[in-house]
């Protein structure tokens, strides 16, 4: 027990009577410090156990709770999409001023979207190695053909990639703005900032 107490201060909380031969010769000051350390470790345990219990309880009660053990692996990555069908590119000069007939999708990172975007656009950041949400695909499909206009950034042309993936997934008449948001800006078209994702 003496060895345990020296390695794990929490055992200082266990009463110990070693007799004269094995008397603990630590100074009262050290004893006091070790006792404080032991109480700190005990409190750490209490904090962690209480928090874990609270988390489990809330997860059990709430409607959107998750199972304690995941039933199937999380879909973290996927192979880069096979773009079997290219979407149609639209040059800025051929794009109408009124885009109300389209559901405009901004495929850039959300921070870029918040800084500035095409008025009325919806932010759906595109990540080629993450699978597109099934519910989202169903929602876009429900819009009907020739309704989707995607734009991204100029460098990696995420608009073209996303539009291609949507087309390959069977959505009809998906278009993307050639040159992405850079082309939109260069054409002097209006922008807006902020807004919901």
Partner 1 sequence: MSARTGNVLCGISLPVRVALGIVFIAAAWYKIAEPHEFGLSIASYKILPLGFVNIMAITLPWMEIVVGLSLIAGLWTRAGALVICGMLVMFMIAIGVALSRDLPISCGCFASAEAGEEISAATLWRDGIWLAGAAYVLFVDDGRFGLDGWRSRKQRTG
- CA separation (Å) from 108 to 157, 181, 187, 191? 9, 9, 19, 15
Interface positions, 41-100, toward partner 1 (CB under 8 A): 41, 43-44, 46-48, 50-52, 54-56, 58-59, 64-70, 73-76
Site track 108-147 with partner 1 (rule: CB under 8 A), x = hit: -xxx--x----------x-x-x------------------
Closest CB to partner 1 among residues 10, 95:
10
Choose the stretch contacting partner 1; rule: CB under 8 A; options: 16-24, 37-45, 87-95, 159-167: 37-45
Closest CB to partner 1 among residues 108, 175:
108
Nearest to 84 by CA among 157, 149, 167: 167
Minimum CB separation of residue 56 from partner 1 in Å reads 6
* 30 contributes a contact to partner 1 by CB under 8 A: no
Choose the stretch contacting partner 1; rule: CB under 8 A; options: 6-14, 26-34, 106-114, 163-171: 106-114
4-16 residues labelled b (16+ CB within 10 A) or e (exposed): ebeeebbbbeeee
Nearest to 181 by CA among 128, 112, 89, 98: 112
Q: 102: buried, middle or exposed (CB in 10 Å: 19+, 13-18, 0-12)?
A: buried
Closest CB to partner 1 among residues 25, 196:
196
Nearest to 97 by CA among 8, 1, 192, 184: 184
* 16 contributes a contact to partner 1 by CB under 8 A: no
């Amino acid at each position: 027990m003496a060895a345990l107490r020296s390695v794990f201060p929490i055992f200082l909380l266990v009463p110990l009577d070693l007799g004269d031969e094995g008397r603990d010769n630590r100074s009262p000051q050290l004893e006091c410090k070790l006792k404080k350390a032991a109480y700190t470790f005990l409190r750490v345990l209490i904090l962690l156990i209480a928090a874990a219990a609270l988390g489990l309880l809330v997860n059990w009660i709430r409607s959107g709770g998750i199972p304690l053990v995941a039933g199937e692996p999380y879909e973290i990555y996927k192979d880069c999409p096979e773009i079997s069908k290219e979407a149609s590119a639209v040059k800025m000069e051929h794009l109408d001023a009124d885009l109300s007939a389209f559901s405009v999708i901004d495929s850039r990172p959300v921070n870029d979207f918040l800084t500035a975007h095409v008025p009325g656009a919806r932010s759906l950041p595109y990540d080629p190695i993450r699978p597109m949400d099934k519910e989202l695909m169903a929602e876009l499909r429900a819009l009907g053909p020739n309704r989707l206009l995607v734009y991204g950034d100029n460098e990696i042309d995420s608009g073209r990639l996303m539009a291609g993936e949507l087309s390959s997934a069977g959505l009809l008449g998906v278009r993307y703005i050639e040159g992405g948001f850079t082309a939109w800006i260069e054409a002097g078209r209006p922008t807006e900032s902020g807004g919901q994702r």
